[in-house]
Amino acid sequence: MPINAEDISAIFAKAPHSLTHRDILSLLRTPWLRLAPLARSVADAAKGRRVFVRGLLEFANICRRNCHYCGLRRQNMAAKRYCLSREQIIAAASQAKASGVDTIVLQSGEGSCSSAWLAETVRAVKKRTGLPVTLSVGEHNDADYALWRDAGADRYLIKHETADPELYAALHPGHNLAERVAAIKTLQAMGYETGGGFMVGLPGQTLDTLARDILLCRDLRLAMVGVGPFIAQRNTPLARATSGTAELTLRVIAALRLALPNANLPATTALASIDPEGGQANGLLAGANVLMPSFTPPERAADYVIYDHKNRVSAVNAAQVIESVGMSHRLHLSP
């Protein structure tokens, strides 16, 4: 049910940390044309008009987990597994650096490679590029997090995926939400700039769950929050489930911007995949301030099938999207 203009003005006037579950639900129901400009104005004030561009490097797709939604799950025998060599990773990271990205994000399935190998790789990427390195490699023990931090890793991305404990347990055999949240807190305590996030449109998720997702991100004081639509993948138990929509994902981004004015919010690749025409531009208009183009070698990118119809967002695409909404970036791309 849409809410009226006075209600939203009263919510907008509140301090972000005092927004309640009910306020967030009202925001999620606010007509898009009213919500988006409010969120964009908060983003302009808190983050400016420059979009941060992260270079995403999907270096391995081997995974020990069995998340029900993900095409990289261990039991997916159809996935063609790979792990790039350190030399390939350094070459791709150097290319990202040359394009002008401000961080290298090393992403993989969980347990793709040995902890020591990853530590050495982090060291090598930092040495070669001089850029901050972000890890997005899943849940590990504290000793591994410490090892990678010592090797120079600056940031860590690990989404809580859904704030509904029962849904979390159903989607992640053998795991629970409490351990995921504990991992996020451990990483923060170790000095990682920590990013989280969740999926929009998971089967069984409600608007109420999404409000809890947003409040959990705020209460964890996450530096970055990535939200993307759930997109069904054909070789998973959720192959026939209905995917999330761009429309609801954009509302969630806007509500997140109002609840966490200072967080970095990416317009995700999943958003670009569900709506190739306008997904990421609308994400920026809804208050996002980060894009994450891929520098994964093209011959491997096709095997990183987290979900079906995954769009490949290149640095050139990212620059076009940013320019199309009148925002700025520091990419320098040769034609």
12/230 with CB nearer ligand SF4 = 230
CA triple 244-215-204, angle to 5 deg: 35
Q: With respect to ligand SAH, which residue has the nearer C-beta, 283 or 319?
A: 283
Q: How far is the CB of 316 from ligand SF4 (least distance, A)?
A: 27
In the shown chain, the binding pattern of residues 93 to 132 toward ligand SF4, with x for contact by CB under 6 A and - for none, equals ----------------xx----------------------
- In the bound state with ligand SF4, the residue whose beta carbon lies nearer, of 187 and 327, is 187
As a whole number of angstroms, the distance between CA 163 and CA 216 comes to: 7
Count CB atoms within 10 A of the CB of residue 135.
Answer: 26
How far apart CA 65 and CA 115 sit, in angstroms, is 17
Nearest CB to ligand SF4, comparing residues 65 and 300 = 65
Q: Which does 158 bind (CB under 5 to 8 A by kind): ligand SAH, ligand SF4, none?
A: ligand SAH
Count of other CB atoms within 10 angstroms of residue 21: 12
Please tell me whether residue 247 binds ligand SF4 under the rule CB under 6 A.
no
The DSSP result for 144-195, as a single string, is HHHHHHHTT--EEE---B-S-HHHHHHHSTT--HHHHHHHHHHHHHTT-EEE
Residue 163 touches which of ligand SF4, ligand SAH, none (CB < 5 to 8 A by kind)? none
Task: Choose from ligand SAH, ligand SF4, none: what does 228 bind? Cβ within 5-8 Å by kind.
Answer: ligand SAH
39-78 residues in contact with ligand SF4 (CB under 6 A) are 63, 65, 67, 70, 72-73
User: Closer CB to ligand SF4, residue 138 or residue 287?
Assistant: 138
Q: Which is nearer to ligand SAH, 185 or 330 (CB)?
A: 185
Cβ-contact 258, 27 below 8 angstroms: yes
Residue closer to ligand SF4, measured from CB, 47 or 73: 73
In the complex, the residues that contact ligand SAH under the rule CB under 6 A are 69-70, 107, 109-110, 136-138, 158-159, 161, 199, 228, 230-231, 233, 270, 306-307
**Closest by Cα among 81, 71, 59, 202 to 137:** 59
Dihedral pair phi/psi, residue 61, rounded to 5°: -120, 15
Place of tokens 């449109």: 201
Q: Which of 155, 199, 193 is nearest to 56 (CA)?
A: 155
Whole-angstrom distance, CA of residue 255 vs CA of residue 47: 16
138 binds ligand SF4 (CB under 6 A): yes
Kindly state whether residue 167 participates in binding ligand SF4, applying the rule CB under 6 A.
no
Residue ranges binding ligand SF4 (CB under 6 A): 63, 65, 67, 70, 72-73, 109-110, 138, 306
